[in-house]
Structure 1
Amino acid sequence: MNEDFPWDYLLEYIEDGKVVPILGQELVQADYQGRQVSLQRLIAERLAEREKLAVTWTPYFELNDAVGAYLEKPQTRLAGLYDRVGSLLKGLSPPFPVPPALKQLAQIRRLELFVSLTFDSLMARALDQVRYGGQPVTREIEFSLNQSTAAQTEALLPRSSAAPVVFSLFGRAGGKSDFAIHDEDQLEFIHRFVSGDVPPPEWLLSELRNSHLLLLGAHFPDWLGRFILRAATRDRLRVAQRAYFSAGEAAPSDSALPEFLRRFGRETEINIYAGTAAAFVAELLERWLERNPETSRTETSRPDADSRGGSIFISYGRENLNEVERLHACISALGGDVWFDKVELEPGDYWERKILPQIQRDVRLFLPVISERTTNRVRTSEGYVFQEWSEAFKRKRRMPGRKFIMPVVIDADYTGDLKRYQALYDVFPDLQEVQPGHAPGGKPDAALEMSLVEEIRAMRREDAR
């Protein structure tokens, strides 16, 4: 059926670093509690159950179906729905596994930039698991309608060869109403992306417009597909000299897109794989390994923490990841050499070899993140984050008179009353010696920002001696 598919051309483009995969909902499927299901369908079903919705499901458009049914109810508003979808995603127990197809894509190491059309972090997790042994190396950035200046600044940093990049075109769950859950959201995201109201990074646009596109399981309304492809193309589609490779289960709503490209993309190479996106990825990996057997290993060592030179370390629990990502971006925008681990590791070999020595010797400013969620957790958990705090306070006692620990409270409703965090202070009485800064939702207030700037400048003066 696919005898004429130009595998050799595609593999050559990949070897040259000229292919960008665009990942759709069809690839985000895995076995979850004994059932093969997509993440979107799972979240949509749980939303429908929670809101008592009667939904007629359309494959690959299930969340839009659920939102549409929700809006049919009288006196409903969308405002709170994003938080509910985000909490459903975050509350999955067990967490949704990384789909096998994404892990297979991650094994093709010449693929270094990925565009995700879903609001999860599964592609980044696949890359970290396959290439870096689960260590958080992959850089995640997202297009956002309400992006902070700090996040925009971080996104503008050019892509480095040291780490792959996953760009989430429709946002990533975790922000405030800042990811797409229905068709109108997607329309607005694409409008902002194309119009420049929220300018995307120039380096990203350049790479997209100078690469061949590999569309994998990308199901969207025909009109939206045309907008997305035009946004990723420098010239008009009818004169653009590039190749499109597409694979995915046929769906009535998007079957007109290939015909549109064939008709109007006269200078464009259109290649359609007859089969599912997962089947395509499996065959692509098999052919890639035949041509590049030396890349068959499944793990690459992580860049040493020393090589990153992180002077400021953010210590946090996974319950605060969204706020910590924002805090990290803000400190980076201030010029801070800051780092944190994106996945929570249990104390073990990697933690003992890399994280622990950094805290004991190399980190110059230690930021323990305090929240009500962390306070609730300290009563029941022995997570590594609290071991980090213990090590930091041990080191602090050896450095009297020097500022080393700067606690940061991220609860938006914090007013200075520390009694709500009493359980933390009972376990770590040394916290009472340091006045915490406030970063509501991860964004430092004026006082904390000033303190951070002072510390960053002090580090630079010390380095200049």
Structure 2
Amino acid sequence: MAKNKLNERGWEKLLSEIDKGNVVPILGNELLKIKINGQEQPFYEYIVKSLCEIIDIEYVPGLDFEQLTCQSCMLKWREIDSDPYYETYKLIKETDFDVSPSVSKLLDIDKFKLVLTTTFDNICTKSFEKKWGIGNFKRLSYEKRTNGQDIETLNQPILYHMFGKASNESHSYVLTEDDLLEFLHFWLNDNYKPKKISNILREKYLLIIGCNYPNWLFRFFLHSMKFSTQSTPKSKIGMIAESNMDSDLIAYLSRLDAQMYIPAEEFINELAERWVQYKIDNPDELLSEYKDVFISYASEDEHSASLVAETFRKLGVTVWFDKRALEPADEYLKVIKKNIEKSKAFVPILSKHVMTPERRFFKREWTWGIEQSEWINPSPYIFPITIDDINIQNELIPVKFSSLQKVDFFKSDFEDNVKKIIRSIRR
């Protein structure tokens, strides 16, 4: 089947609606990949293989949760006095999974403050923790036969498990198609559905990525999320990015004016690239999102700088941390300069990589940071952080930096010192 792609007009529409906050992502299991012994494999495949080992049956490609809950397999579960729901919950609880690169890349788009997932795992949670910091977002879950956990406000990021999250109670989350049908039945019932989230799903454009349901089930899923008795077939559908869509499903979605893109991960990669360019081309639309702390670093130090940024976020502080491989365009320079001026703290990351006479972009940020510190003097504004044994008294380091007390990233009291910085800027 030929690949479906967005045309330029479609991308322009999607990026504009994302920027307005009118798009809600719904993430499926295709985006969940983990590494086992250095080899990447789908997360659900790993769970199925592990369950096969528990009940001592041979795994064959294509085996899924449906087969593991068939009558013959359930006899094996009874023999060990367990069930696939409990064992799946144990696997997730006892294994420290990494973040999902695809989910993390999607979350780099700050406009996605509400993200729904059809999965039961904690991998999306890891990506949220990396992006927003522990304690700076809510993780909610729908519970059938209740009105679920509904949202109150969107004043902080929310990760919402549409079909339950893994627990030790059988059928409390979706493993099989039968489970999914039961959950969708409750989503359609006005007495049980989470009303605020349901209203948001009807009013916003949906960005459905990597769910990969069969044709008939996808239609039922979409109807449950999008339509009410007052809805029309032309309600906002938005964007569907899947790797497995047959021609009948494509024809159905086309009739609903839904945009389609195949495959899912390729879509996320292109979306991330286009969003960066969109921010460059539309700088004024970024100026309403000023951050508390501006982190300036040499591109070679991106990994260490990201860990510094994560520490600030974990402690409840917003951070401007601009990932870039190239020199910013002129319009985007204005955005960066404005965000330095609006920040409460300027944090230069100092390492041997900044010890260069070359003209580098971080030096321009240094100049803007020093200028801003002079405007707000005597309030503390610049807080240098070192990530190696650099000599900050070197002539290549501005006197403004070397005259200040530095914070060493690799010392045991680093987090305590970050807390001191936060207290200082909150006075």
TM-score bucket (shorter structure)? 0.5 to 0.7
Deviations 1:288-308 (A, max 9, x none): 01111477987575486699x
What SS does structure 2 have at the residue aligned with 1:292?
helix
1:158 to 127, 146, 152: 152
Match of 2:248 in 1: 256
Tell me the CA shift for residue 232 of structure 1: 1.8
Relative to structure 1, the CA distance from residue 277 to residue 157 in structure 2 (aligned partners, 3 Å threshold; closer, same or farther) is closer
For residues 56 and 256 of structure 1, the distance between their equivalents in structure 2, rounded to whole angstroms, comes to: 29
For residues 417 and 249 of structure 2, the distance between their equivalents in structure 1, rounded to whole angstroms, comes to: 52
Identity %: 23
Q: TM-score, normalised by structure 2?
A: 0.61
CA contact (8 A) 1:248 1:273 kept: yes
Alignment-mate amino acid for residue 42 of structure 1: Y
Match of 1:287 in 2: 274
CA contact (8 A) 1:159 1:165 kept: no
For residues 6 and 216 of structure 2, the distance between their equivalents in structure 1, rounded to whole angstroms, comes to: 30
What SS does structure 2 have at the residue aligned with 1:232?
helix
Deviations 1:303-336 (A, max 9, x none): 86699xxxxxxxxxxxxxxxxxxxxxxxxxxxxx
CA contact (8 A) 2:113 2:154 kept: no
The within-5 A match list for 1:339-418 is: 349-350=414-415
CA contact (8 A) 1:20 1:213 kept: yes
Tell me the CA shift for residue 350 of structure 1: 3.8
Are 2:130 and 1:139 aligned? Answer: no
1:39 to 36, 39, 43: 43
Alignment-mate amino acid for residue 191 of structure 1: H
CA contact (8 A) 1:115 1:166 kept: yes
For residues 77 and 25 of structure 2, the distance between their equivalents in structure 1, rounded to whole angstroms, comes to: 41
Aligned length: 299
Tell me the CA shift for residue 213 of structure 1: 0.8
The within-5 A match list for 1:293-304 is: 293=280, 299=309, 301-302=312-313
Are 2:187 and 1:204 aligned? Answer: no
Match of 2:349 in 1: none
CA contact (8 A) 2:67 2:73 kept: no
What SS does structure 1 have at the residue aligned with 2:206?
strand
Match of 2:321 in 1: none
Q: TM-score, normalised by structure 1?
A: 0.57
CA contact (8 A) 2:6 2:260 kept: no
Tell me the CA shift for residue 79 of structure 1: 7.0
Are 2:258 and 1:270 aligned? Answer: yes
The within-5 A match list for 1:315-326 is: none
For residues 35 and 71 of structure 2, the distance between their equivalents in structure 1, rounded to whole angstroms, comes to: 27
CA contact (8 A) 1:21 1:214 kept: yes
For residues 78 and 191 of structure 2, the distance between their equivalents in structure 1, rounded to whole angstroms, comes to: 29
Tell me the CA shift for residue 68 of structure 1: 3.5
For residues 196 and 57 of structure 1, the distance between their equivalents in structure 2, rounded to whole angstroms, comes to: 40
Relative to structure 1, the CA distance from residue 119 to residue 351 in structure 2 (aligned partners, 3 Å threshold; closer, same or farther) is farther
What SS does structure 1 have at the residue aligned with 2:235?
coil
Match of 1:52 in 2: 56
Match of 2:92 in 1: 89
Deviations 1:215-247 (A, max 9, x none): 111112322211221122245675333142111
Are 2:166 and 1:173 aligned? Answer: yes
Structure 2: any 5+ residue segments left out of the alignment?
287-293, 296-305, 319-411
For residues 70 and 281 of structure 1, the distance between their equivalents in structure 2, rounded to whole angstroms, comes to: 40
Alignment-mate amino acid for residue 86 of structure 1: Y
Alignment-mate amino acid for residue 127 of structure 2: A
1:64 to 63, 66, 69: 66
Alignment-mate amino acid for residue 259 of structure 1: A
Match of 2:21 in 1: 17
For residues 69 and 354 of structure 1, the distance between their equivalents in structure 2, rounded to whole angstroms, comes to: 56
Relative to structure 1, the CA distance from residue 75 to residue 114 in structure 2 (aligned partners, 3 Å threshold; closer, same or farther) is closer
Tell me the CA shift for residue 72 of structure 1: 6.3
What SS does structure 2 have at the residue aligned with 1:31?
strand
Deviations 1:357-413 (A, max 9, x none): 99xxxxxxxxxxxxxxxxxxxxxxxxxxxxxxxxxxxxxxxxxxxxxxxxxxxxxxx
Tell me the CA shift for residue 103 of structure 1: 0.7
CA contact (8 A) 2:68 2:74 kept: no
Name the Cα RMSD after superposition: 3.5
Relative to structure 1, the CA distance from residue 75 to residue 139 in structure 2 (aligned partners, 3 Å threshold; closer, same or farther) is closer
Relative to structure 1, the CA distance from residue 81 to residue 72 in structure 2 (aligned partners, 3 Å threshold; closer, same or farther) is closer
